[in-house]
């Protein structure tokens, strides 16, 4: 009898343990700020003397009807030509990966259309392998223009976005790129205006090796005015992008590989017919109190405050009456208790939009890829303690700074340099260098029709 009771007890404990294991498998691990001791950071170029480096571009379509015309722009910051291997990684089962070796001129830049590699416009991402000193950026062509965004310099097991919507007239796609041979297994969760949701159909999702998986968020969180996303890998690592289309405006952006307590958004201006918003997601288990500082190109404005509860999202209207019209500004977002967050800026007009993930670490040198269409300008925030002396050099093979591009920006202020009146820069990446720590954004519209923009890629010269 004693043995029988012991056997029943053992079986009961085993069943309970199995139940707990199944419950944990069905629900993604709740992301916290302490999940990684050394979390991945924003895209950063490998040193010029590094023997090898990788870039990963999540690509994909911008909406169901799009043909996913993705290009990868490569910029060489070194004084020698370099070779790189570009691999187009399409949807699993649609086509096989295709590799191509390209030569990027010294101090030059070039673009590779993935459709040229795949023999047609198929949804695809890409990996780029090359030496240090190389920078990659992606662009997706749309009927209204070109949306641009950075590629990732590292993979991660966690990714976060703040901006998004599945309301009528919107399309929100997450692009999950697995550039590695082994499959990754992920779970997705969303913080929305109607609360947090963890769709059962998006737990234990398999992303095959060397392929792209596209998740249509509307299939799992329908008719939400606002959606922030979390992607957590239980097995493997990957790269996640967000492609968002609302009305006639589209944007593509890399998700954040980890949250951080401080973010910088160099671009912004209050103008008629344009809506400017700061969107913040808090994926941690603690409430966050934020200080939002608008650093004007001329003048000053008192900081704003924003509360973001744990596991939720919040927005701040940047068109407040205290913000003067027509004066460009940068935004510095700081979590007062060091609770890590994710900060993005949305600019929306009738004919376009721009959704930009903030920068995290000021640097003295940045590379900004071409924006393709519309206006072409650099927004430069001086995060240093002294006056910044800024030079801009097109990566066109010549290595000569733009005439009249020397710019001085006071500490804690924003500077602007228009590039659309300098034709050689329209299709080229540019190198931005300074004696002070900067955060740089290149955009195609500010206070006017916008169709994408992105914080530039730091060169690691801090």
Residue 418 makes CB contacts below 8 A (sequence gap 6+) with 375, 376, 377
Q: Does residue 353 surpass a pLDDT of 90?
A: no
Q: Does residue 350 surpass a pLDDT of 80?
A: no
Residue 224 CA: distances (Å) to CA of 137, 167, 170:
30, 5, 10
- pLDDT at position 135, please? 97
Cβ atoms of 78 and 133 within 8 Å: the answer is: yes
Q: Give the residues across from 246 on adjacent strands.
A: 170, 249
Residue 73 makes CB contacts below 8 A (sequence gap 6+) with 109, 110, 111, 136, 137, 138, 139, 369, 370, 429
- pLDDT at position 12, please? 40
Q: What are phi and psi of 410, to 5 degrees?
A: -70, 155
Q: Calculate mean pLDDT across residues 146-166.
A: 95
Could you tell me what percent of the chain has a pLDDT over 70? 88
By CB atoms closer than 10 A (0-12, 13-18, 19+), residue 337 is exposed
Q: Does residue 20 surpass a pLDDT of 50?
A: no
Q: What is the pLDDT of residues 222-232, one digit of tens each?
A: 999 999 999 99
Across 329-403, the runs of DSSP E, i.e. the strands, are: 329-335, 342-349, 352-357, 363-368, 377-382, 388-394
Given this chain, do its domains 53-145 and 158-254 carry the same CATH topology? yes
- Beta-carbon count within 10 A of 435 CB: 13
Structure token digits, residue 144: 């209204």
CATH code given to domain 158-254: 2.60.290.11
In the chain, what are the domain boundaries? Answer: 53-145, 158-254
Structural class in CATH, domain 53-145: mainly beta
Q: Does residue 145 surpass a pLDDT of 90?
A: no
* Average pLDDT across the chain, whole number: 88
Across 247-351, the runs of DSSP E, i.e. the strands, are: 249-254, 262-265, 274-282, 288-296, 304-308, 312-317, 329-335, 342-349
Cβ atoms of 392 and 402 within 8 Å: the answer is: yes
* DSSP helix/strand/coil, 13: helix
Per-residue confidence band for 360, with pLDDT thresholds at 50, 70 and 90: very high
Per-residue confidence band for 98, with pLDDT thresholds at 50, 70 and 90: very high
- pLDDT at position 294, please? 96
Q: Which residue has the higher pLDDT, 63 or 371?
A: 371
Q: Does residue 169 surpass a pLDDT of 70?
A: yes
Q: What share of the chain is helix, strand, coil (3-state, %, to 5)?
A: 10, 50, 45
- Which among 45, 136, 34 has a CA at the least distance from the CA of 85? 136
- pLDDT at position 143, please? 73
């Amino acid at each position: 009898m004693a043995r029988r009771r012991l056997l029943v007890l053992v079986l009961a404990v085993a069943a309970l343990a199995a139940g707990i294991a199944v419950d944990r498998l069905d629900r993604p691990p709740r992301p916290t700020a302490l999940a990684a001791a050394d979390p991945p950071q924003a895209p950063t170029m490998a040193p010029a003397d590094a023997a090898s480096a990788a870039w990963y571009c999540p690509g994909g379509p911008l909406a169901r009807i799009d043909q996913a015309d993705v290009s990868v722009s490569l910029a060489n910051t070194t004084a020698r030509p370099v070779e790189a291997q570009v691999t187009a990684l399409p949807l699993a089962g649609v086509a096989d990966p295709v590799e191509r070796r390209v030569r990027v001129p010294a101090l030059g830049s070039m673009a590779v259309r993935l459709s040229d590699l795949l023999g047609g416009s198929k949804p695809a991402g890409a990996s780029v392998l090359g030496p240090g000193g190389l920078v990659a950026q992606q662009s997706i062509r749309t009927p209204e223009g070109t949306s641009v965004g950075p590629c990732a310099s590292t993979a991660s097991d966690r990714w976060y976005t703040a901006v998004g919507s599945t309301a009528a007239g919107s399309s929100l796609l997450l692009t999950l790129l697995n550039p590695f041979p082994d499959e990754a297994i992920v779970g997705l969760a969303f913080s929305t205006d109607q609360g947090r949701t963890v769709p059962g159909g998006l737990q234990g999702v398999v992303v095959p090796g060397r392929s792209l998986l596209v998740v249509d968020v509307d299939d799992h969180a329908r008719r939400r005015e606002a959606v922030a996303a979390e992607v957590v890998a239980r097995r493997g690592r990957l790269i996640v992008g967000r492609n968002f289309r609302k009305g006639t405006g589209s944007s593509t952006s890399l998700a954040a590989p980890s949250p951080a307590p401080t973010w910088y958004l160099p671009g912004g201006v209050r103008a008629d017919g344009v809506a400017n918003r700061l969107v913040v997601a808090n994926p941690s288990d603690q409430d966050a109190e934020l200080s939002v500082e608008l650093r004007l190109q001329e003048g000053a404005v008192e900081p704003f405050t924003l509360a973001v509860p744990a596991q939720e999202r919040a927005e701040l209207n940047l068109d407040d009456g205290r913000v003067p019209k027509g004066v460009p500004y940068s935004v510095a977002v700081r979590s007062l208790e060091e609770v890590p967050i994710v900060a993005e800026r949305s600019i929306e007009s009738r004919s376009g939009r721009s959704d930009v993930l903030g920068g995290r670490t000021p640097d003295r040198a940045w590379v900004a890829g071409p924006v393709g269409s519309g206006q072409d300008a650099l927004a430069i925030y001086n995060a240093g303690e002294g006056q910044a002396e800024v030079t801009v050099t097109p990566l066109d093979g010549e290595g000569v700074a733009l005439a009249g591009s020397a710019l001085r920006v006071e500490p804690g202020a924003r500077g602007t340099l228009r590039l659309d009146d300098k034709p050689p820069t329209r299709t080229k990446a540019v190198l931005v260098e300074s004696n002070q720590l900067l955060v740089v954004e290149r955009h195609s519209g500010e206070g006017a029709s916008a169709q994408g923009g992105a914080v530039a890629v730091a060169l690691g010269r801090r």
